[in-house]
Structure 1
């Protein structure tokens, strides 16, 4: 049986243009997405909206880690979010949406529902 990928993938930028430990903002469909690349080369995509301030600024956050968990800290109030799950590590029960992301043919692509 053949499985067909029905998700709509959008090219955000080339992988080489995404600096390690930095984020970029992109409009994917109707969603503002923050895309991050770690020093290890992994790529993650979260919603760009900071749930505490309502501002679309997470792409400008500070990329780091807590233990082995890659994270981004909001540039406004410094709450830390997991790049893997979107969960806020400082405020239980608060999270931002996480989007599927992949690197294909040298391009970073994001799929939003």
Structure 2
């Protein structure tokens, strides 16, 4: 990861729900934070608002994995958004905001800038 990233403390590891998502605030934006594989330190953050329903529900979507590529199925209309880049798999022109996320000891940090 780039040394130009400004890492900000977001929450504690204990605030995460392994194998699921949680809603968080990154700056003034609602975000969904995912830890799909407990035991591995890959974390993902993307916008919490579902662009199809306009509801802030993506943290409660179902995590899906296909060939090592993780996505979340939106709870209302079931579109899948790839966690790594926010692209909607059914409609690739729809892309959610994403953030870099890392574990730093027992703290979760988000990359800004």
What is the CA deviation profile of residues 5-59 of structure 1, one whole-angstrom value per residue up to 9, with x for unaligned ones? 56251x3322233122110111121111100001252210101111111111100
Q: TM-score, normalised by structure 1?
A: 0.85
**1:7 and 2:6 aligned:** yes
Which is worse superposed, 11-20 or 80-89?
11-20
Segments of 4+ moved more than 3 angstroms: 3-6
Per the TM alignment, residue 105 of structure 1 is displaced from its structure 2 partner at its CA by 2.2
Runs of at least 5 residues in structure 2 that lack an aligned partner in the other structure? none
Structure 1 residues 21, 97: closer, same or farther in 2, change over 3 A?
A: same
Q: Which residue of 2 aligns with 1:64?
A: 64
Separation in structure 2 between the aligned mates of residue 7 and residue 16 of structure 1, nearest angstrom: 23
- Tell me if the contact between 1:21 and 1:64 (Cα under 8 Å) persists in the aligned partners: no
- Tell me if the contact between 2:5 and 2:112 (Cα under 8 Å) persists in the aligned partners: no
Per the TM alignment, residue 4 of structure 1 is displaced from its structure 2 partner at its CA by 6.5
Runs of at least 5 residues in structure 1 that lack an aligned partner in the other structure? none
What CA RMSD, in Å, does the superposition of the two structures yield over aligned residues? Answer: 1.9
Q: Which residue of 2 aligns with 1:18?
A: 16
Structure number with bigger Rg: 1
Separation in structure 2 between the aligned mates of residue 8 and residue 29 of structure 1, nearest angstrom: 12
